[in-house]
Amino acid sequence: MPLILAGSHRGMVWGGNGLASVRMLVSDEHRLRLSVRIVWERSIYGGNGRVPCIICGGWANPVQKQGHQVLLAVVYNDRGQIYGEACRSCVNLGAKGIKECLQERIARLRNQLQDLQELERGEVQLPSLEQELSAYLE
């Protein structure tokens, strides 16, 4: 489902209440528009591991807060459901930059989908055990 963003970013990644809202409009084939927001929250994942960024497809590294707490930018829809997390770079882009990033990612994913569909239609030919062993021993 393509995501289209609208609104403005206030220039702060996170403020006193830990909130950075970016208004986003989500459109599907029926052009239904939903409100989406990004909120800085404590990570629910153990440790300081990175998670995939729902916006750019890269990695979102948790932001160290005072003490041992880490924060992630969590992307919610207007029903309170989580889409995923966003990396700090994407949040810093603001609404217009996020929209452009999403459009680029959607185009890449569509191209990748076409490639995968083409692969799926073709015949799969695997090397024989002898060919594999020969390549390994060379």
What burial letters (b/e) apply to 62-84, b meaning 16+ CB within 10 Å?
Answer: bbeeeeeebbbbbbbeeeeeebe
Contacts of 88 (CB under 8 A, 6+ apart): 13, 60, 61, 63, 73
- The torsion angles phi and psi of 40, rounded to 5 degrees, stand at -80, 120
Of the pLDDT bands very low, low, confident and very high (cuts 50, 70, 90), residue 15 is very low
Tell me the C-alpha distance between 98 and 110, whole Å: 18
Say whether pTM exceeds 0.75: no
Question: Residue ranges of the domains in the chain?
Answer: 3-121
Tens-digit pLDDT profile for residues 70-125: 899 999 988 999 999 999 999 999 999 999 999 999 999 999 999 999 999 999 99
DSSP string, 25-75: EE--TT---EEEEEEEEE--SSTT--EEBTTTSSEEPPEE-STT-EEEEEE
Q: Examine the pLDDT at 127 and tell me if it is beyond 70.
A: yes
> Half-sphere exposure of 24 toward its Cβ, with a 13 Å CA cutoff?
27
